[in-house]
Amino acid sequence: MAARREKGLCYNCDELFTPSHCCKGKFFLLTTDDPIADDFTPDPTLVLDPPLPEPVFDDTPSQVSLHAFTGGVGSSTIRLKGQIRNNPVSILVDGGSDHNCIQDQVAKFLDLPSIPYNPLTVMVGSSSLLRCDRLCPDVKIQIQEHTLHVNFYILPLRGADIVLGAPWIKSLGPVLMDYTQLTISFTHQGQPILLRGIHHNRPDPMSSP
């Protein structure tokens, strides 16, 4: 201590002591030879919150088959006859259509109630686009001896009066579509149901002149 005093050094560090002297802070680095630190493997059982997915906006148009629009005959379609409000209607069962649709002229002729709907873009075949913004809810249809209740989008179809598309087919549950015999078999409320199609090449829509 005497030697440091003679040299005018601070008692705690090697710098000269002055009235305004402050010792510099000391820092210590601790090291370890633990091998785990350099070879860390994440615990596979640790579950982290997954990142939130980016929002996906699907603007792909819905599909209505060309058969549904023009009234042509397809290898995977079946035509039926039915009634709405005691008026005969031609029906096309078409799994290639994404929606159940009714011809705009038919909906007007039958005076079916309709409600506004978020605009829907529908692609006909692989080219033409149609705009739909109205829906006929809970339409009662008589097909042979069976009664259905279906929601229909209103579209300017020029084929069958109504199209029963994929949503209606899916609603039946297990269903057998025989395109050779033109029959549709399914079970409803525990009862087997068989709908028989017609063999006309083209429908006889009520909207025709």
Read off the pLDDT of residues 63-103 as tens digits, 9 standing for 90 and up.
555 555 555 556 678 999 999 999 999 999 988 888 898 99
Given a cut of 90, whether residue 137 has pLDDT beyond it is: yes
Percent of the chain with pLDDT over 90: 35
d(CA 164, CA 80): 10
84 DSSP assignment: E
CA 7 to chain CA centroid, nearest Å = 86
Which amino acid type is present at position 26? K
62-196 adopts what CATH topology? Cathepsin D, subunit A; domain 1 (2.40.70)
Read off the pLDDT of residues 161-197 as tens digits, 9 standing for 90 and up.
999 989 999 999 999 999 899 999 999 888 899 999 9
Given a cut of 80, whether residue 127 has pLDDT beyond it is: no
Which amino acid type is present at position 155? L
d(CA 200, CA 209): 18
pTM score, two decimals?
0.63
Q: Where are the domains of the chain?
A: 62-196
Mean pLDDT, range 20-45, rounded to an integer: 50
Mean pLDDT of the chain: 74
At residue 99, the pLDDT reads 85
CA 6 to chain CA centroid, nearest Å = 88
